[in-house]
Structure 1
């Protein structure tokens, strides 16, 4: 790539970081901003209870299934070009969603939003690596970038509640028009121009078709399986998805110009961080959706009250990820900070697993919001580990992989945890249990499952990301730009 890291960031560099962070915040917000507006959309557009979840899942399908392809396209034709095109697609689709008058139109617009988000998000970390050389400036830039992801989902629920109450659910999409237009205009001016290495250097069209179709079908299988339970259709789609993804892996091992060079997984920090991220994001996104539904459907709160109830979590996550995560990672190492944050999240889910039917904010909800601060430590540490082997040649690839596992985790969380809650609720209501009690029991079961996911992530971090395991060979001779941040030595010289 033509863009190379600079040692002293200029004003233009910091503005470019602001563009990346703002666009990422906008796309992350759109994954969660709809949660508090779902009841209003259902009443206005006539969604059935099962179809309503597709307002979120359509977005996640478009987003998660195309991230790998988008990341590789950034390496081939230029990350700046892919970023600007993705932001434009997302902005136009947001307007279409905002003016939708039918369920079908809204779902189609949500899918296209996901496509635009995939293009913009997949290359953002790659552009960041090109902008900032290894050291304190890159550590701060990663902290800012992680802040947008960590706080964005929680802030989305606050903003969604305010906008829905004040101007209706259409406004949560239309607000993206001025933000997206500004990001496109500024991005064209300040983002580094890069021509890419050209399509002939790695245009694995067959691989792109296999992974895109396979991921989309896999996510679809999870969604319909959670909604309708085991069935012949679920089995067929699941087996087909597995076959397509297996064919994709075989293709990558034999292709001259693979879409996903398998060498990237030789670095255990990258492999472990991405695997842990699937578990963590599944739990955390499921938490955001389910605790919102608990406040509205069981406690009877309005969209505005629900959004404001999430505000402490948003403020804490944002503050910690932006101000404390970088120095803590530099001092103690990403692995230790990741484990500390996961410990707080495990306590969060254990607390929610005891929610009563007549819960109050001060005693039942607020403690969970405070424990959510652990996400402010977890996501920057995961980003540091996940990009620890990314140099200029494969930064877009590593970024695409990291963002793909994010979306897979989020989709799995919505589908599986919501499915568990719905199944438990249906079982209880069919035996005469009052609706509020049945709903609460379903949410408690889902939160227990979330705790299990966090504990599994802690075990994975302990086993795969143990001291020394992150040291292995980098992807090639130029790939170790932020490893010093991942494995900061102690005063005595031993790796943390």
Structure 2
């Protein structure tokens, strides 16, 4: 095949990996009751089937991104895919709760290798400009579809084939990636820096893991518990040690100059806010539909089908808008549309599906697709070419951290507002909180993306690697 056809085929392969990685972060949501019954989880332990993946994924993303730059992006991607295949088989074959949680951690670790290396391969395959923007739009739309399709796919699979099928679903996809990856994907590396930064790797992994661990336990222990305070204190101390180590290292794992880019920082704020809003809303909506409205997992999956479809439409609209407008205009607008969708959902139980849930989900999906594309474009364009893996890791980490925080905020809102005020108050509070997060993200992003003042993202930019 010619070079142009080959690179778009490579994009399709990378997007399949992205879909698989993002889908697995939420697909267990509707399967948790079945998992709990079959494997004998007690005391809310089944929640760790979801949290273990986020812990492995979020804790190692920056290390995975930098490993891709130094060891080779295709090599890292294929190694991660092989581990993902094995971990998925172990998840589907788990004989008890401990085995499933351990396998989910391994799945998260493999995703931390796959996701940033895949996105950095994309940036190496497509030069900055309209072609890369189109590629990122496709990537982001697939990611948005995966984040929301988990609700659509997980219900029918769990109800029809059992919860183990949601893990075996990954096996043929991983085999396909391993078979086609060597021929479709080119090997590439980062800049001239060689060697690893063990102190930086240790401290950033500890800081990220402690943050995710503390946050995912908030629904179980509370925001002011000793577990939460202790975990976040460890994260702060490790984060300070990481900054000190990187400022003195000759070959830092994460060069601190990376964060001087307002576009990279602003793009990641967009990604963080969008993930918080959609993960928090998805959790609250799942519980509301099943606990209050009495939806079955299958019915709920079909009822939310508009969400992933709208996310794809929003991604396409954002990609078209970026040809004529700046990312500073598109990104906050996407978050504002997400906020509008959350606030429509906060009207429950006023009205029914057609007047509240359907328009709320449609707006949420449109905004997610638009903000996902704009956030990714800004974040990746803000990094140096030699740091593509690192920039990809940071952007993916922002999405995963946002998801963990969004679930914690929504869970807290549901529990805090539901007592003595009726079954709907907690869910209304959760939807409103998610909307407020999206609005705050839009305001911060608009300020951070103020410069460069009028250059459009689709225009080429000269990248330096000081």
TM bucket, shorter chain: over 0.9
- SS of the residue aligned with 1:331? coil
Cα distance in 2 for partners of 1:202, 1:405 equals: 26
The corresponding residue for 2:412 is 419
Aligned mate of 2:362, from 362, 370, 381: 370
Give the direction of change, closer, same or farther, for the CA distance of 1:444–1:84 in structure 2 (3 Å limit). Answer: same
Contact 1:227–1:419 (Cα < 8 Å) also in 2: no
Shift of 1:42: 2.4
Contact 1:142–1:384 (Cα < 8 Å) also in 2: yes
Shift of 1:234: 2.7
Residues 1:262 and 2:256 are matched in the alignment: yes
Residues 1:207 and 2:191 are matched in the alignment: no
Cα distance in 1 for partners of 2:244, 2:44 equals: 36
Alpha-carbon deviations, 1:419-453, whole Å to 9, x = none? 3312333x33xxxx6xxx33x22211111211221
Shift of 1:61: 0.9
The corresponding residue for 1:246 is 240
Cα distance in 2 for partners of 1:102, 1:443 equals: 33
Residues 1:444 and 2:428 are matched in the alignment: yes
Contact 1:269–1:470 (Cα < 8 Å) also in 2: no
Aligned mate of 1:401, from 379, 385, 394: 394
Which runs of structure 2 are paired with 1:253-402 in the superposition (5 Å)? 253-321=247-315, 323-356=316-349, 360-372=352-364, 373-402=366-395
Residues 1:152 and 2:146 are matched in the alignment: yes
Alpha-carbon deviations, 1:298-352, whole Å to 9, x = none? 111111111111111111211331x332221111122211122122111111112
Gaps of 5+ in 2: 462-466
Contact 1:269–1:469 (Cα < 8 Å) also in 2: no
- SS of the residue aligned with 1:123? helix
Give the direction of change, closer, same or farther, for the CA distance of 1:134–1:235 in structure 2 (3 Å limit). Answer: closer
Contact 2:23–2:146 (Cα < 8 Å) also in 1: yes
Aligned mate of 1:163, from 152, 157, 160: 157
Contact 1:328–1:337 (Cα < 8 Å) also in 2: yes
Q: After the TM superposition, which of the residue ranges 253-262 and 52-61 deviates more from structure 2? A: 52-61
Cα distance in 1 for partners of 2:163, 2:437 equals: 32
The corresponding residue for 2:464 is none
Contact 2:62–2:397 (Cα < 8 Å) also in 1: yes
Alpha-carbon deviations, 1:3-35, whole Å to 9, x = none? xxxxx9522212111110001101111112112
Contact 1:151–1:318 (Cα < 8 Å) also in 2: yes
What RMSD over aligned residues (CA atoms) do the two structures have, in Å?
2.1
Cα distance in 2 for partners of 1:22, 1:329 equals: 24
Aligned mate of 1:466, from 442, 446, 450: 450
Gaps of 5+ in 1: 1-7, 472-481, 488-496
The TM-score, its normalising length taken from structure 2, stands at 0.93
Aligned mate of 2:116, from 89, 114, 122: 122
Shift of 1:97: 0.9
Q: After the TM superposition, which of the residue ranges 169-178 and 133-142 deviates more from structure 2? A: 133-142
Which runs of structure 2 are paired with 1:3-42 in the superposition (5 Å)? 9-42=3-36
Shift of 1:461: 1.6
Contact 2:145–2:312 (Cα < 8 Å) also in 1: yes
Q: After the TM superposition, which of the residue ranges 170-179 and 457-466 deviates more from structure 2? A: 457-466
Shift of 1:280: 2.2
Give the direction of change, closer, same or farther, for the CA distance of 1:133–1:33 in structure 2 (3 Å limit). Answer: same
Contact 1:66–1:118 (Cα < 8 Å) also in 2: yes
Cα distance in 1 for partners of 2:251, 2:453 equals: 29
The TM-score, its normalising length taken from structure 1, stands at 0.88
